[in-house]
A and B are shown apart, each in its own frame.
Chain A
Amino acid sequence: MASVILVENLSKKYLIGHQRQELYTNLHDVIAQGVSRSLKKLAHPFSKAKDDPAHEEFWALKDVSFDIQQGDRVGIIGRNGAGKSTLLKILSRITEPTSGKVSIRGRVASLLEVGTGFHPELTGRENIYLNGAILGMSKADIKKKFDKIIAFAEVERFLDTPVKRYSSGMYVRLAFAVAAHLEPDIMIIDEVLAVGDAQFQKKCLGKMEEVGADGRTVLFVSHSLPMVSSLCTKAILLDAGQVVKAGAASDVVSFYTKGDSGAEINFQSRKIGDEYAQLLSVSILDPSGVAVTQIIINQEVRVAVTFEVLQDSERELLPRLDFMMDGGRYAFVSFAAAKMQRYKPGKYKAICRVPANFLNQVTYFIGFGLVSYEPTKILHFHEHSACSFDVIDPLIDVPTRTRGMPMNDFPGAVRPVLDWDVEKLG
């Protein structure tokens, strides 16, 4: 069968400037990095312009090649920053590659977000037309499918209500319904199913399977490994902008999870750090000291980080851990203030213990940084998404209860067990 998507040696380079960095770091850190680079410049005045703080090169994708056959349902997996979104953006023609080539046969529709172009002031009906047009449907096409769309979205009664008055569930349903009726040859989907209630997710999955069964090709990016292994026939694992493994979905998914839990995440080959200190590895340990990717909510979590101090200096190093949630929101940050000291050259292992019954039932992404303040602030390194782990609540065998009734989600970054007193008055 012919390839519908052929990707050859695809690379994408970003020049990271100050503007881009503040997405992830605060101004302090940016300035600190600037200072650190200027110091580096002073130390090595003839080094290349790569050290220019305003233009740091970053390869989001490097030499990626693969091909996709007609009718394949392909899952693209990898940790945050692996290059998944960049790949989708290139395939969707939103951004252009730095080098390499992609050949696509057939009409592509990409859904990188639910409800792109929805306007809150417009009614459901108006938004169907607008969103359809943005996604590339003709007016006649939308008219023809209009009834199917509203039936799928279950919003008949609210067609002439501005979508700003919709519940978030209705909004998502309507947005997905429009996209689901595009009927392209190739469909590219990014995490859209991460929203909506369970019942609607099921419906969307059904629709996607239907799309695949029609002989259309589906590309699906997800953090949810169970979803990829159940929905896709093939998978591609990206890491640091490169294809690590491609093949049958079940093989790639099991490779990915084994690669995660079997050992710690190793950074030695990537040289994260400066001339003072470098990051070596990060791992999540369960109470028995085994590296894991899942922790039960009533277990203590240990984040273990190894780093190497490269030179004897006056600098007092301060380790810092970031706990971030999906979408890059910070849950909290912890500084090892009591351990801020001079470190002799050598390898060190830092362990941060997060008490049991403290974290919420979500996925946390761990960032680790090392900073020193005297004589000037230097951020030696700051790896934003070094690793991730899921906190799960099996609902049984959890003696310390934070929940009264079983329900799906607790809002918030943490879900601590706290002391309560309730007394009868008078």
Chain B
Amino acid sequence: MIEFKNVSKKYPNGTLALDDVSLTINDGEFVFIVGESGAGKSTMLKTLFREEKITSGSLIVDGFDLKKTRNRKIPYYRRKLGIVFQDFRLFHDKTVFENVAFAMRAVGESTKSINRRVPTILSIVNLQDKVKCFPRELSGGEQQRVALARALANNPSIIIADEPTGNIDPKLSLEIMNLLIKIHKHGKTVIVVTHEKNFVDYFQQRVITIKDGKVVDDKVGGMFDA
């Protein structure tokens, strides 16, 4: 469970990016976070993966109090998250297999377990035929699927996707969104930050709208209304 309680985030330059945000996301929920540029969506995500510390209030994710958790414990917290970025952030000198395996290496998984699990994950994202390819040999949609596979590698309970379709064409974007829905159906909590009105309206999930750092709307089965 993710629980924001009166969370505010003020940057050193004085910008108040989150202003008294309170909301709860239950385990297994699918949530779209929408809002204009500069509304505070990215800051919200950054506080979720503890890139930024909140200034006041409390933020508890899967039992981790992110205001109090010590820095050396943060890597263990991040293993509960699978993060997908708009720009994919893949290692360009590693193959598809190695990119996914890297996430497992980083948490100390054995080679045996990596060799067993990576092909399974790649088949979930339909990339079983591309294991030996390098990212430059793949389309944008395929690269994002590799990023998604990497996010799933350590079996996280929460998937956070920051504009996952921002860099790919509409047809392939639908494929990515369908994959996220598929992952959600496997019991994961999925949080998607997006500007894509069509998808938000089409999938009819919970929609949280942010404006000037505040939650201005929060509806299940809501529409893109930023």
B partners with A: no
